[in-house]
A and B are shown apart, each in its own frame.
Chain A
Amino acid sequence: MSGKTYDAIIVGGGHNGLTTAAYLAKAGLDVVVVEKNAFVGGAAVSLELHQGWVYSNCSYVCSMMRQSIHRDLDLTRHGLILVPYLGTVNFGDDGQTLIDYPNEEAAHLELKRHSPHDADSMHRFQADLGRYAQFIRKTLLRTPPDPTSIRPRDIRELLFLGKQIWSLGEREMYEYVRFFTMSAADFLEDYFENDLIKAAMASPGIIGTALGVYSPGSAYILLHHVMGDVDGNIGAWGLARGGMGAISEAIASAAREHGAEIRTDAGVAQILVKEGKAAGVALENGDELSARIVVSNLDAKRTFTRVMDKKDLPPGIYEKAKNFKIRGSSGKVNIALDGLPRFTGVPDNRYINRGGQGFTGSLETMERAYDCWKHGRWSEDPFVESVIPSAWDPTVAPPGKHWMSNFVQYCPPRLAEGPWTPEERDAFGQAVVDKIERYSPGFKDLIVHMEIRTPHELEQEVGLTEGNIFQGELTIDQLLFNRPFPGYAQYRMPVRNLYMCGSSTHPGGGVSSACGANAAREILMDLKRPNTVPEDDFYDE
């Protein structure tokens, strides 16, 4: 090792890694981010994979981004513009459509057309979910306590959580327990009777997770519906103008402005440990960089089983990392279109042909797609959730042309017969296109370019183990003080001077920057530097 010693090396330039870098640099530290790809952003990127189309080829919508970070890092000045998008159409298995109009009264009438009972229940459902989300939102920019510890800070944080729970009152407390442990299907059963409405509401409960809507624990994931906000608009979903890469670029720009160095095409071969302390990294090109601390933005499994030497780890850690649940379950098909597709049974309205589309008509269809995943197959009748960002953001496709992002659940990381082959990948993409064609005759003829991504591609390109989009399953055994492992949930890892800042840590996946910000706060505390990370601002409803 030669040359200078950095204060901190961030391994991996995903949005969380960049966030950590920005806050450490803001505190005056000498920081370098090393990223294996030629571009930063990890899974929040915009790439030109077909001439004229620059699109988010992985993560595609934005709602979890912490507003306080957005403002604190002045990301708008660094070029980030979030555009809320409105209106979603859900297509039933029987030719029915369910349209979520931006106009509240129209939306209510539309629900009523399917089920008057459900139209009434919707208010109760939205209010309940909103309350549950509010609770989680309060924990996002906080470090989870260690319940086994008696350090004042842990006790304080535990009391904070306890107080939040206690203040709910008895009845609410039990409703929360129910919501956080039950299945999405059972939860929706309490409110709705119509299959299509249930399916429309359930979709966030399965995205990215290797669970089905019938699996206990999936109700909690429904919160992704309402947990986020777009610039203070709670529950709204948005697109980043110019694609998700705009988020990463803005954070990177903020980090650079504060003095951080960002190196691309610099994949890390190994995290170096000297005398039991993380001391630097060896790059794939042979260079070595040294630093006082190393922060891994990689997922927990990759960090401990791929870029670290087992002998550098305390006993048991390698096994913990091996058992860390990080299961690929999602695929994506990005389609460049010659024009805006038309959908059967959908009136030509300036919102609804352009917002999102859900192509799954019942919980049973969703669950059956999950069953296929268990068998190591993709579903012939997959769960597809789509959005046409080019209808809202003219920068992502040439004039008059469009880009459609299709998120597919479920797609196994390996097939029962073995690893993915290009032929099978194409067949998987074809199943998705065939499904859309059913609702949009002539759709196939509009296709000018198609990029099919299975968990295999996601792992190869972004580096997410098994292609899990959340860097680890969001189940209770891997949430809060259990994330990534019990005892190591406070961003400090079992090797001294090693930290983690990716979605494998609390609060988990989603483009929120919360993991990165929390990690920075802990690091600054250890280095006895003033904190630069803002508190979250949330609203009491």
Chain B
Amino acid sequence: MLVLESADTVGGLAGSREFHDGFNVPVAHSVNHFSQKIANDLDLAKHGFPASGKSLPAIGLSADGSHVVVQGNQVLGVDTSDAEAFPRFMAQMQRFATALKPFWLKTIPRAAPGKLLDMATFARIGLKLRLLGKEEMREFMRIATLPARDLVDEKFEDERLKAMLCWDGLIGSKMAPRSPNNAILPMLYRMSGGCAGEPCQLIEALHASARAAGAEIRTGATVDRVLVRADQEGLRAHGVILAGGEQIEADRVISSADPQTTFIRLVGIEHLEIQFTNRIRRLRSDGQVAKLHLALSGLPEFTGLNQPNGRMLIAPEMDAIEFAFDHAKYGECTTSPVMEIVIPSLADSSLAPEGQHVLSAHVMYAPYRLKGGWSDAACETLRENAIDTIARYAPGIRELIKHSELLTPADLERRYHLTGGHWHHTEYALDQLLMMRPTYEAAQYSTPLPGLYLCGAGCHPGGDLTGGPGHNAAQEILR
């Protein structure tokens, strides 16, 4: 078992990177629902991932300091009617999330004629939902495709709270609160619970666990091609060729790269059937999130907040998200970005020098296909707009900035070999989920090329730091 990683460190987007002298940060800045089962299986606690199980509180920032704080099933800072409705709403969503949870760690079978037995998985999903009761199942069928906005509009009054709830359905994807069909399943996926903690610790623990189990890990080893050879039975993956020309033979090649990189760049379309290639090519994988990193000489002060210890959202109303998105639709970049901010150095002081801090922000919407391309000037404009936006909530922050870095989706693509710079490798959309992720014939982790498997976020259940795709792929391969 050999792991080949192109970068000098493991972890991909979750791996920590030094972006300024002594300041480190991963692109994925929090772990919120890593699978408990996988953590137990791999003994991650022993390897240094002290999963707290409790994710950071979400804080909806207001410029005037009257923030909304969501922690678990409680919300603070809103009217009584919303505060009372919130636990009811969360309890219902939790019931749906719990019903779906087992299926995130299962291979979703092909819905193919002649595979009736496999259909048991679908029957089980149906049954799970039916067991919630008639009314609940009906409600699930109704809300499953609602735009995030319509769902929360039905339940709440407070715009800040509504924007916060929408956020968890949208983050990383090409959609806004009014977009139908694709928001609720990701929302439930993220509500399904699991371990929370620090990405760096998670990556180190996974790294240690893999090594302890006997895996060899080589960094700085860029795979150039998948080695494909023909035998009597047709084409088969036999190993990889590294960028330097080194050839490594193996019985199986398992790709954690996104589907488009895997099939188009590494395998090559000459080895694939044309309709399959077309389906891979047309996957929608345009990233919409830029990453802002600030190296700060001290802890910034947010108006009205004792300690900036949480997932802080700058999205004062749903329309702020919607209108920021409207620009991205046309390949323009908004001047009023919305964002999620975390100060990871509060939980992990090793990320910054003593007494200093790192601010990490996901900035939306920064379209991968920006009209005119991501020139230096375009990056500069977005960076300044983003910092100005933060400064409205943390007025003194500019004086603390020692260095800033903005990674656009184009940068993420370049740096992490990630098509479109898309976090989830390919869009969360109903037609690219479950047994259709990334496309049929490659959704059960094996691919049309024998010997080649997928195990990245481009497979079911998708992105975020959950371990799901890797777990399911291993299960299929071992079977």
Contact = CB atoms under 8 A, between A and B. Distances in A.
Given A170-B440, A171-B440, A178-B431, A477 B142 contact: yes
B113 A170 contact: yes
Interface in B274-315: 275, 282, 284
Interface of B: 110-113, 126, 130, 134-135, 137-139, 141-146, 150, 154, 175, 178-182, 275, 282, 284, 319, 322-323, 326, 329-330, 429-431, 436, 439-440
Interface in A239-257: none
B330 A475 contact: no
Interface stretch (A214-222, A259-267, A304-312): A214-222
Given A475-B145, A486-B142, 17 more contacts: A166-B113, A170-B113, A170-B440, A171-B275, A174-B439, A177-B430, A177-B431, A177-B436, A181-B181, A215-B178, A216-B182, A217-B180, A367-B329, A476-B144, A477-B144, A477-B150, A482-B142
Contact of A170 (B110, B139, B143, B154): B110
A173 B111 contact: yes
A211 interface: yes
A186 B175 CA distance: 13
Interface in A189-243: 190, 211, 214-217
B143 A477 contact: yes
A326 to B, nearest CB: 12
A437 interface: no
A214 B329 CA distance: 8
12 contacts: A147-B141, A170-B111, A214-B329, A215-B180, A216-B175, A325-B150, A371-B326, A475-B145, A477-B145, A477-B180, A486-B139, A487-B134
A157 interface: no
A161 to B, nearest CB: 14
Contacts of B329: 214, 367
A481 interface: yes
Given A147-B141, A477-B143, A482-B142, A186 B284 contact: yes
Contacts of B436: 174, 177-178
A181 B431 contact: yes
Nearest to A322: B154
A173 B284 CA distance: 19
A44 B141 CA distance: 33
A181 B130 contact: no
Contacts of A486: 138-139, 141-142
B141 A482 contact: yes
Contacts of A171: 275, 440
Interface residues of A, number: 34
A476 B181 contact: yes
B429 A477 contact: no
Contacts of B322: 374
Q: Which of B111, B113, B431 has the most CB of A within 10 A?
A: B431
A286 interface: no
Given A178-B431, A182-B429, A364-B330, A477 B146 contact: yes
B410 to A, nearest CB: 20
A476 B430 CA distance: 12
B113 A169 contact: yes
A323 interface: yes
B282 A190 contact: yes
Given A215-B178, A477-B142, A181 B429 contact: yes
B138 A182 contact: no
Contacts of A103: none
Q: Which of A169, A173, A186, A216 has the most CB of B within 10 A?
A: A216
A2 interface: no
Nearest to A316: B135
A148 interface: yes
A476 B180 contact: yes
B285 to A, nearest CB: 12
A371 B325 CA distance: 11
B319 to A, nearest CB: 8
Nearest to A489: B138
Contacts of B330: 364, 367-368
Contacts of B429: 181-182, 216
Nearest to B329: A214
Contacts of A173: 111
Contacts of B141: 147, 481-482, 486
Contacts of A186: 284
B149 to A, nearest CB: 11
Given A371-B326, A477-B142, A487-B138, A211 B180 contact: yes
A315 to B, nearest CB: 11
Contacts of B178: 215, 374
A487 B133 CA distance: 12
Interface in A358-375: 364, 367-368, 371, 374
Nearest to B114: A170
B170 to A, nearest CB: 12
A534 to B, nearest CB: 30
A487 B142 CA distance: 10
Contacts of A367: 329-330
A147 B396 CA distance: 57
A167 to B, nearest CB: 9
Contacts of B137: 147-148
Contacts of B180: 211, 215-217, 475-477
Contacts of B113: 166, 169-170
Contacts of A482: 141-142
A235 to B, nearest CB: 25
A169 B110 CA distance: 11
Nearest to B153: A323
Given A182-B429, A216-B429, A374-B178, A174 B146 contact: no
Q: Which of B145, B181, B439 has the most CB of A within 10 A?
A: B181
B224 to A, nearest CB: 30
Contacts of A174: 431, 436, 439-440
Contact of A323 (B130, B154, B275): B154
Contacts of B440: 170-171, 174
A216 B180 CA distance: 6
A145 to B, nearest CB: 12
| 6 A-B pairs with least C-beta separation | A486-B138, A178-B431, A476-B145, A181-B430, A216-B181, A217-B180
A148 B130 contact: yes
Interface string A153-166: 00000000000001
B400 to A, nearest CB: 37
A171 B139 CA distance: 30
B143 to A, nearest CB: 7
Contacts of A214: 329
Interface in A273-327: 323, 325
Nearest to B136: A148
Nearest to B140: A486
A277 B111 CA distance: 45
A319 to B, nearest CB: 8
A174 B111 CA distance: 9
Nearest to A475: B180
A182 B431 contact: yes
Contact of B138 (A148, A323, A325, A364): A148
Interface in A456-510: 475-477, 481-482, 485-487
Nearest to B284: A186
Nearest to A374: B322
Nearest to B129: A148
A485 B429 CA distance: 24
Contacts of B284: 186
Contacts of B139: 486
A482 B430 CA distance: 18
Contacts of A181: 145, 181-182, 429-431
Contacts of B182: 181, 216
B184 to A, nearest CB: 10
A148 B134 contact: yes
A371 B326 CA distance: 7
A214 B275 CA distance: 25
A364 B331 CA distance: 11
A79 to B, nearest CB: 41
